[in-house]
């Protein structure tokens, strides 16, 4: 006899409803939360037939989901018009009951101009700050509450209450797609060791509306037009594979950023759409898409620089700058904008550090923002090689000496072989070292031998630390003494080790190319040669290319370029050039890098000596960041 399946509860605990699973409604803690170790709480006064909608009620015009619900939408609209009741927008504590939107688009918005049915745009504002409209106040649309991402509880005075970091174990990121499917992550996200991000998911009890008369809502309100459907799909399918250093818990960090941050902050959303549109335009050779990408990029930059709430939007601004730099890298069109964005990021870090040092209640970085800040440090090092000031790395160095933002971003993650924190710290240390090398080489007065000797000693110590690491030592043994036995599986941890090792060898090459010849003769030869470092980079890169599918994540343009111009092995040079040729489908910057590499190799082979690739760029009037 078949057992009757119990109906799915609509009145279960908050954790079970958030994960869309059945709840046995055990009090005080249900069995599911007990088994998974989650916090279990029940909303007071929530009825089973509640019509309260759920957050992330996103509707795309002309999407498959919207068309399938068109009849129900029209029915709801007719009922609303006959009753004369004012439609309520989605509030911060709302939960989804699956009903269609009355406007056939996004219902969550903080703008007074609600679009009519059939509007071409969808509007998103942060769910924790959506304005509540009442019948008595419907006529007062000249003063609007501003939709901003919340970073902590706020009172009526709009002043931040002292922030106390806490971990919401029930936080489960949902990844977004055009068919309205929110695919939850695996059970590893629900473990006690997984840090919830309080900056992205606030407890429902702390949600409040923040009214700021006289300020524009455009900084936080996202408008999704019908032309964005293709861009969003391209971003989720293609552009999410561009991230470099990964962690096993959140490989889809770009998807996480889109669904949890970009949909609620217009500058970030426009920066992502601009980057995606530029890549798609290069793929399709569509000049119109290039124009639209430029417009979205300009809009994103102007909104970011003009944001009046940077203290609240610190992490969002950092992530926005990251994607603006992705646009600049893909465009490969000069260095001015690239360096200007890094200077802006340095200003943000300095202001945040001073505020934190003075005892102010500074918004802490989450695990996304801290990672982006480290990655921006790597870009600042690249900019230093072409004349950048390197100020962001100096600001980060001062910031880290006063406040360990990397450790604070992962508050409850214990040390383990899969921990991302050591990778981020080593990456930042290598960027410090390389930026210092470039600054020493640009000094008007030659740097003393002691300064270069200090840098060399630092590189030797880093190499010794790497060789003593149980995860890295086997890799070093393979590249120094190749064998026929090669581990075919490249885990997340091993991928990060390979990338960090290649980065270290890239710094070694920069050291040998930047140090004056007279200085190099006075230093002992304890550091490996640039030729050996180039060989090791190529071996590491070929290892990744053999055992991982082709993707921009597995191509290291700058490191391969350094190896290509330093290696004297024709076979290695040909392999690097062929790799760049095959990678040109990922962006026009790969083609420009290949052409520059070919030119530098040709000049060096003719002159029989090293050539500064920056001089070659200047000679061709084509400076860009590799």
pLDDT number for residue 117: 38
Burial class (CB in 10 A: 0-12, 13-18, 19+), 158: middle
Q: How large is the angle between the packed helices 367-385 and 253-260, nearest 10 degrees?
A: 120
pLDDT tens, position by position, 479-526 = 887 776 666 677 777 888 888 999 999 999 999 999 888 888 878 778
Please provide the DSSP assignment of 248-291 as one string. TT-TTHHHHHHHHTGGG-HHHHHHHHHHHHHHHHHHHT-HHHHH
Side-chain half-sphere CA neighbours of 340 within 13 A: 10
Specify the pLDDT at position 244.
64
Look at residue 124 in the predicted model and tell me its pLDDT. Answer: 54
User: What residue ranges do the domains of the chain occupy?
Assistant: 474-626
Tell me the Cα Rg of the chain: 27
pLDDT number for residue 70: 43
Helices 492-514, 449-468: crossing angle, 10 deg rounding:
160
Closest residue by Cα to residue 427 from 506, 340, 363: 506
Instruction: Report d(CA 63, CA 77) in Å as an integer.
Output: 19
Prior bond to 175 cis, omega within 30? no
How many CA atoms does the CB half-sphere of 122 hold within 13 Å?
A: 25
pLDDT under 50 in the chain at which residues? 1, 46-119, 126-218, 250, 416-417
What pLDDT is attached to residue 37?
73
Reported as type and span, the H/E element at residue 317 is: helix 314-331
Question: 3-state SS of 338-359?
Answer: HHHHHHHHHHHHHHHHHHHHCC
pTM to 2 decimal places: 0.65
Q: What is the pLDDT of residue 503?
A: 94
**Buried-state track 511-537, b at ≥16 Cβ within 10 A, e below 16:** bbbbbeeebeeeeeeebbebbbbbbbb
Give every CB contact of residue 424 below 8 A, 6+ residues apart in sequence: 245, 370, 371, 374, 406
Query: What is the pLDDT, as a whole number, of residue 85?
Result: 42
Write down the residue that tokens 């745009």 correspond to.
121
From the number of C-beta atoms within 10 Å of its C-beta (0-12, 13-18, 19+), residue 205 rates as exposed
* CA–CA dist 459, 433 (Å, integer): 8
Q: What is the pLDDT of residue 434?
A: 92
CA distances from 116 to 105, 111, 299 (A): 10, 13, 25
């Amino acid at each position: 006899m078949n057992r009757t399946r119990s109906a799915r509860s609509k009145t279960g605990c908050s954790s079970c409803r958030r994960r869309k699973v059945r709840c046995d409604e055990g009090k005080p803690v249900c069995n599911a939360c007990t088994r998974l170790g989650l916090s279990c709480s029940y909303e007071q006064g929530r009825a089973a037939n509640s019509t309260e909608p759920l957050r992330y009620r996103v509707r795309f015009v002309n999407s498959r989901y919207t068309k399938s619900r068109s009849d129900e939408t029209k029915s709801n609209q007719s009922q609303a018009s006959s009753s004369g009741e004012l439609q309520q927008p989605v509030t911060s504590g709302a939960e989804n009951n699956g009903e269609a939107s009355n406007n056939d688009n996004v219902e969550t918005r903080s703008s007074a101009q609600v679009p009519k049915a059939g509007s071409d745009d969808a509007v998103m504002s942060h769910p924790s700050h959506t304005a509540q409209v009442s019948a008595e106040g419907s006529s007062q649309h000249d003063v609007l509450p501003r939709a901003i991402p919340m970073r902590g509880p706020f009172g009526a005075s709009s002043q931040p209450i002292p922030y106390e970091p806490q971990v919401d174990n029930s936080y489960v990121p949902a990844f977004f797609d055009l068919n309205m499917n929110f695919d939850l992550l695996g059970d590893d996200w629900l473990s006690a060791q997984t840090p919830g991000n309080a900056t992205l998911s606030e407890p429902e009890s702390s949600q409040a509306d923040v009214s700021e008369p006289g300020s524009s809502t455009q900084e936080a309100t996202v408008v999704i037009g019908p032309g964005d459907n293709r861009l969003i799909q391209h971003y989720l399918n293609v552009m999410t594979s561009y991230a470099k250093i990964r962690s096993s818990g959140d490989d889809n960090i770009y998807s996480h950023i889109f669904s949890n941050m970009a949909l609620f902050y217009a500058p970030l959303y426009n920066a992502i759409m601009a980057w995606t549109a530029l890549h798609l335009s290069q793929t399709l050779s569509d000049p119109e898409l290039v124009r639209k990408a430029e417009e979205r990029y300009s809009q994103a930059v102007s909104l970011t620089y003009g944001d009046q709430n940077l203290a609240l939007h610190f992490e969002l601004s950092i992530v926005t700058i990251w994607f603006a730099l992705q646009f600049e890298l893909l465009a490969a069109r000069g260095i001015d904008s690239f360096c200007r964005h890094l200077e802006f990021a340095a200003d943000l870090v300095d202001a945040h550090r001073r505020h934190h040092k003075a005892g102010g209640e500074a918004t802490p970085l989450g695990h996304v923002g801290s990672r982006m800040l480290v990655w921006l440090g790597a870009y600042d090092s690249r900019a230093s090689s072409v004349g950048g000031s390197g100020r962001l790395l100096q600001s980060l160095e001062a910031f880290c000496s006063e406040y360990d933002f990397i450790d604070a971003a992962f508050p409850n993650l214990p040390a383990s072989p899969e921990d991302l924190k050591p990778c981020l710290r080593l990456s930042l240390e290598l960027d410090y070292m390389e930026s210092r090398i470039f600054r020493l080489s640009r000094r008007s007065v030659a740097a003393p031998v002691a300064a270069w000797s200090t840098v060399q000693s630092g590189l030797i110590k880093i190499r010794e630390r790497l060789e003593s690491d149980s995860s890295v030592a086997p890799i070093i043994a393979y590249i120094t003494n190749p064998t026929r036995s090669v581990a075919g599986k490249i885990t997340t941890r091993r991928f990060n080790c390979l990338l960090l090792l290649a980065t270290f060898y890239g710094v070694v090459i920069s050291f040998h190319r930047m140090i004056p010849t007279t200085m190099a003769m006075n230093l002992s030869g304890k550091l490996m040669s640039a030729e050996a470092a180039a060989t090791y980079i190529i071996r590491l890169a070929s290892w990744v290319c053999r055992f991982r599918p082709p993707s921009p994540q597995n191509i290291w343009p700058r490191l391969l370029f350094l190896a290509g111009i330093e290696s004297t092995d024709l076979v290695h040079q040909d392999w690097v050039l062929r790799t760049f040729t095959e990678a040109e489908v990922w962006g026009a910057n790969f083609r420009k890098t290949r052409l520059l590499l070919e030119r530098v190799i040709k000049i060096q082979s003719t002159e029989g000596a090293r050539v500064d690739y920056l001089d070659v760029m200047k000679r061709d009037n084509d400076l860009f960041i590799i």
